[in-house]
Chain A
Amino acid sequence: MNTASRADSAPIVSVRDLRVTFNGGKKPVSAVNGVDLSVARGETVALIGESGSGKSVTLRSLLRLHPERRTRIEGRIEVAGEDVLALGSRALADYRGRVASMIFQEPLLALDPVYTVGQQIVESIRRHERISPAEARKRALELFERVRIPSPERRLDAYPHEMSGGMRQRAMIALALACRPQVLLADEPTTALDATVQIQILLLLRELQRELGLAIVFVTHDMGAAVEVADRFAVMYAGRIVEEGPTREVIRNPRHPYTLALMQARADGAMEKGARLASIPGAPPDLAQLPTGCAFAERCTFVQPACLQSRPEAVELGGGHRARCLRTDATAQAVAQSARATANTSILLTETA
């Protein structure tokens, strides 16, 4: 996966200083606080982070799916040359599904139970293109073949509940690809599936991405899944991207203590019985009251007084790898020292290869 050359061309997704604030509750909640992200054509970027880190909010902002009245979105989002935040409702509807479309976490909930999957794909195609139902159905059949659904003709007439979990997610992917989008947004596409099916779906996504030249933004909290498909990693914490870089580079040389901690918290296959799972002490900060300094400071093992003063700026580490941390050197040292961390890394790397 040589992506350095592809990443040089103009990005298809370009997010600048994105801030998303929800005003629904008592206090405004800053879910995303200045995210910069660019994704090149044919590139897969994984947004990684724990619950509430703003990864899904960032993803949904790309389609402007948040309730308009209660959400304030600031910054700039450009997808395939369209200024997403400036689109009118008509243009937005045209943009959704045709330029960028989305795969949801739980396909059983994201597919309408009262229509067959075929009907839903036909409906989606005909929403954007003036073609006959028969024509649209032919396209749906091709999509089903493309996402490797066995006996596709029969499956088109199946209701979502009549399919297995993996099959439903394939159907969901077919639905998302119905109008030939250039950008595919995947919100934890494998979380609801069991482990063997997860791999199949991930491989399918990677294959589709290569064949169709899709740009994929992939949200997950599962590093193992992310390593399978992503060209680039973007680790999020408290609404910011704290570390970003090519997958191998981030896995091999994490420079943000949060990334390191996440990797150490992974449970690998060969854990000894009775061994405790590593975890990150503390809890993520309250998004309604973010600290002035680094948001991770209070859970960080390398914290210094300077960390509490102001939010750290991104430190360039070369090769597109950057981390928002004052103590990248300390993390680097810890990586070098920790035998356990290297063991994890080598396992991850063999998985990548």
Chain B
Amino acid sequence: MNTTASLPLPQPRTKVEAIERSPGFWSGVLAKLMRDPVALGAGAVLLALIVMAIFANQLLPADPYATSMFKRLKPIGFEGYPLGADELGRDMLSRLMLGTRLSLFMGITPVLIAFVIGSAIGILAGYAGGLVNTLIMRTIDILYAFPSVLLAIALSGALGAGIGNALLSLTIVFIPQIARVAESVTTQVRGRDYVEAARASGAGPFTIVRVHVLGNVLGPIFVFATSLIAVSMILASGLSFLGLGVRPPEPEWGLMLNTLRTAIYSQPLVAALPGVMIFITSISFNLLSDSLRSAMDVKS
């Protein structure tokens, strides 16, 4: 006891500052992402797309809804139409830019909702274990048994066309996938020594879930969910392509791909443009989620 009493203790005030200065987990992750060129590139592309989606109205070079019978299916670089014109003579560049809005919305929203619901279900099942786990996870398995494309189409078809229903069906498609990941990660974490150590120091089940389970589980689930955004975009495009999602004349990449497919022989480059946008966006999300995975691994 004497030894510590004689040690010179720094003033308490400096310690309060030290708490504020102590580097948080997320600032560490951000620092690692900033050093990763792939993450920076993918992030820049996504940022540009998001800016484009938000400020589409200010940035549009032409009216994306204005049709013209004389300027149908013009090639890339046609005068006044930098990226050509579609089958109704509408400016492709404007439509692609405005399409970012709906496509990103359809990509991110279902995953976000499914992330919240699926994580909650998965963590509950994983932490409770036993019968509760069996009941929840077998129910999830039933939904999981359907291929996601088929399930999305079936649900959208049953619910009827429209953005809201497409969002709902995509959310339902992603909940089982996220719940399964959440459950398996939670089951792993639950058996870890630090959870037992927390119990040994008097933590109740609520504290353990809030601090130790969430702290260790949300990262991996988040990374998985990020990779689902690309899938969600493609599925949403697919639904629109089938006429189950976004309705014409709203520009959405999947729908544009659908309506332009008849022009695949006359203007293949223009017809492929919405697909290129989908590709760029989804690969950016995938690359970012990969970088996020390695950046969030505390041990690296």
Contacts and interface: CB of A to CB of B under 8 A. Distances in A.
Contacts of B10: 141, 153
Interface stretch (A103-111, A270-278, A324-332, A343-351): A103-111
B215 A112 contact: yes
Interface in B187-243: 192-194, 196-204, 207, 211-212, 215-216, 219
Contacts of B207: 127
Interface string B25-59: 10000000000000000000000000000000000
Interface residues of A, number: 46
A159 B23 CA distance: 11
A179 B18 CA distance: 22
A252 interface: no
Contacts of B211: 112, 115, 123
Q: Is the interface of A mostly helix, strand, loop or mixed?
A: helix
Contacts of A159: 298
Nearest to B14: A153
B41 to A, nearest CB: 27
B130 to A, nearest CB: 8
A178 B298 contact: no
B202 A106 contact: no
A113 interface: yes
Residue of B18, B200, B212 with highest tally of chain A CB at under 10 A: B200
Contacts, number: 105
Contacts of B12: 134, 138
Residue of B23, B194, B199, B215 with highest tally of chain A CB at under 10 A: B194
Given A63-B200, A65-B200, A157 B4 contact: no
B204 A93 contact: yes
A11 to B, nearest CB: 21
A92 to B, nearest CB: 8
Interface string B121-152: 00000000010000000000000000000000
B197 A96 contact: no
B158 interface: no
Residue of B10, B22, B198, B202 with highest tally of chain A CB at under 10 A: B202
B66 interface: no
A93 B202 contact: yes
A111 B197 contact: yes
Nearest to B16: A134
A116 interface: yes
B1 interface: yes
Contact of B202 (A146, A161, A179): A179
A58 to B, nearest CB: 15
Interface string B266-283: 000000000000000000
Contacts of A156: 18, 22
A74 interface: no
B202 A112 contact: no
A76 B215 CA distance: 37
Contacts of A138: 12, 15
Contacts of B200: 63, 65, 96-97, 101-102
Given A112-B216, A134-B12, A141-B15, A175 B201 contact: yes
Nearest to B8: A145
Nearest to A147: B4
Given A137-B15, A153-B10, A97 B201 contact: yes
B298 A114 contact: yes
Contact of B201 (A124, A153, A157): A124
Contact of A114 (B15, B19, B219): B219
A89 interface: yes
Given A114-B25, A116-B22, A127-B202, A104 B216 contact: no
A118 interface: yes
B4 A142 contact: yes
Contacts of B201: 96-97, 101-102, 124, 127, 175-176, 178-179
Given A89-B204, A114-B25, A161 B197 contact: no
B69 interface: no
A181 to B, nearest CB: 9
A118 B194 contact: no
Contact of A145 (B7, B16, B130, B215): B7
A21 to B, nearest CB: 19
Given A112-B211, A114-B298, A157-B23, 12 more contacts: A96-B199, A96-B201, A101-B200, A104-B193, A110-B194, A115-B215, A118-B22, A128-B202, A153-B15, A161-B298, A176-B201, A179-B201
19 contacts: A63-B200, A94-B202, A96-B201, A102-B197, A110-B194, A110-B197, A112-B212, A112-B216, A113-B299, A114-B219, A115-B211, A127-B203, A141-B15, A156-B18, A157-B23, A176-B201, A179-B201, A211-B3, A212-B1
Among all A-B residue pairs, the 4 with the closest Cβ atoms? A97-B201, A97-B202, A109-B193, A96-B202
Interface of B: 1, 3-4, 7, 9-10, 12, 15-16, 18-19, 22-23, 25, 130, 192-194, 196-204, 207, 211-212, 215-216, 219, 298-299
